[in-house]
Amino acid sequence: MVGEMGRPGRGERGGRGNGGNPRDVSGRGTQGGGETERGLGPGSPLLGERPPRVLDALRAQLRLRHRSLSTERSYVGWVRHFIHFHGKRHPAEMGRVEVEAFLTHLAMSRNVSAGTQNQALNALLFFYRFVIGRDLGELAEVVRARRPVRIPVVLSVEEAERVIAELSGDVRTVALLLWGGGLRLLEALRMRVQDVDFDRRELRIRDGKGRRDRLTVLPDRAVDVLVEKIAEVRALHAQDLEEGYGEVELPGALARKYPRAGFELGWQWVFPAERLSGCPRTGRVGRHHLFETTVQRHVRDAGVRAGLSKRVTPHVFRHSFATALIESGYDIRTVQELLGHQSVQTTMIYTHVLNRGGRGVLSPADRPLRWDGPGARGLVGRREIDPR
């Protein structure tokens, strides 16, 4: 079963295969679960004397281009699912027709969302271009899932404060930054100590969506709690150093350029995890940042305790931040820069708050009356106001 999060289920074996090649190239082979020993397609940039296994080659290409761990896991999952769907045929033997059939299957049989289908498409395009060494070109025969146009869920100022009041500890501080600065959840969790500028009341967002940096506002009410939090991080970091740890993950190739930078206080997470853990890529033991699922669960539960019928998620605070700024009269370009949107069209979705009552239309049921004729008998709330 393919989930909406873009990762196939554990038991997936592919419903409609082509029979074909019995070789297991999916990474779940019969010889100890290893991936295929077969070479890649002609023209592959990774083709050598001993060809790499296809999913290992995919991971290598993703890391070469600095894709995130979540993207790596998602792309590998989609390619594995694609191979299983076609009876474990080698990807080099397949092409555009098989990709179109797989994507159509997702939309028609699995009823996935447009975002999930596009994620699968991007994974396969990347795989064929950089691993197999072949561009798939136009995929005109794909049945595309329809992307609905949705208005974001927005909390009023009073509702947002009620939810935050139900939170505590680091989760409360994170929620306050999302609500007061318009951050995405991972942007807040990946924040480093040096990214907090108390003098200028600014937060520096590094490597945000689209690999763009930006600055946003640091709420005054978050200053004191962040000062205390960074003091806790300083003490925790000193303890980790004494125990032989204390090195944190660095972006890009900084770890090679500055080997000791990972031990500096400025690069430590503002919201570190409680326990040490191993890096899934390198195996190095260190302290990761707070996990996003922890914040998501607490925020959802806080919305229920606050008595809200709306579906409250961490991202709702970002929507509410943008909406509150527009309601306060800030221009759309300012909001765009604070949110980090590449196009102002993306920010325009929040202008729906300017339309009171649908699209600013006065409902006929609320239209004021100024006459007392027979038809007005029994009407409630008649007012002496000119309806014009």
**Same domain for 176 and 116:** no
pLDDT digits (tens, 9 = 90+) for 15-43: 334 433 434 444 444 333 333 333 454 44
**Same domain for 231 and 92:** no
Asked which of 148, 169, 191 is the last residue of a domain, the reply is 148
Domain of residue 255, residue span: 152-388
**What is the per-residue burial (b if ≥16 Cβ within 10 Å, else e) of 180-203?**
bbbbbbbbbbbbbbebbeeeeeeb
By the 8 A CB rule, do 360 and 345 touch? no
The count of residues in the chain is: 388
Overall average pLDDT of the 212-225 stretch: 94
The confidence band for 14, taking pLDDT boundaries of 50, 70 and 90, is very low
Question: Which has more confidence, 173 or 382?
Answer: 173
**Same domain for 161 and 144:** no
**Same domain for 289 and 181:** yes
Asked which of 114, 131, 148 is the last residue of a domain, the reply is 148
Overall average pLDDT of the 71-82 stretch: 94
* pLDDT > 90? residue 243: yes
The CATH number of the domain holding residue 124 is: 1.10.150.130
SS3 track for the chain: CECCCCCECCCCCCCCCCCCCCCCCCCCCCCCCCCCCCCCCCCCCCCCCCCCCHHHHHHHHHHHCCCCHHHHHHHHHHHHHHHHHCCCCCHHHCCHHHHHHHHHHHHHCCCCCHHHHHHHHHHHHHHHHHHHCCCCCCCCCCCCCCCCCCCCCCCCHHHHHHHHHCCCHHHHHHHHHHHHHCCCHHHHHCCEHHHEECCCCEEEECCCCCCCCEEEECCHHHHHHHHHHHHHHHHHHHHHHHCCCCCCCCCCCHHHHCCCHHHCHHHCECCECCCCEECCCCCCEECCECCHHHHHHHHHHHHHHCCCCCCCCHHHHHHHHHHHHHHCCCCHHHHHHHHCCCCHHHHHHHHHHHCCHHHHCCCHHHCCCCCCCHHHCCCCCCCCCCCC
Q: Which residues are catalytic?
A: 184, 209, 315, 318, 341, 350
pLDDT digits (tens, 9 = 90+) for 79-103: 999 999 999 999 999 988 899 899 9
Least confident of 75-89, 106-120, 291-305, 311-325: 106-120
**Same domain for 161 and 63:** no
Overall average pLDDT of the 158-183 stretch: 96
**Same domain for 273 and 366:** yes
**Same domain for 127 and 4:** yes
- Domain count along the chain: 2
**Same domain for 133 and 172:** no
**Same domain for 157 and 102:** no
Overall average pLDDT of the 141-147 stretch: 69
By the 8 A CB rule, do 195 and 230 touch? no
The CATH number of the domain holding residue 365 is: 1.10.443.10
Q: Measuring CA to CA, how many Å separate 105 from each of 102, 113, 135?
A: 5, 12, 21
**Same domain for 218 and 320:** yes
Asked which of 98, 118, 148 is the last residue of a domain, the reply is 148
The confidence band for 208, taking pLDDT boundaries of 50, 70 and 90, is confident
**Same domain for 156 and 139:** no
Specify the pLDDT at position 387. 46
**Same domain for 125 and 159:** no
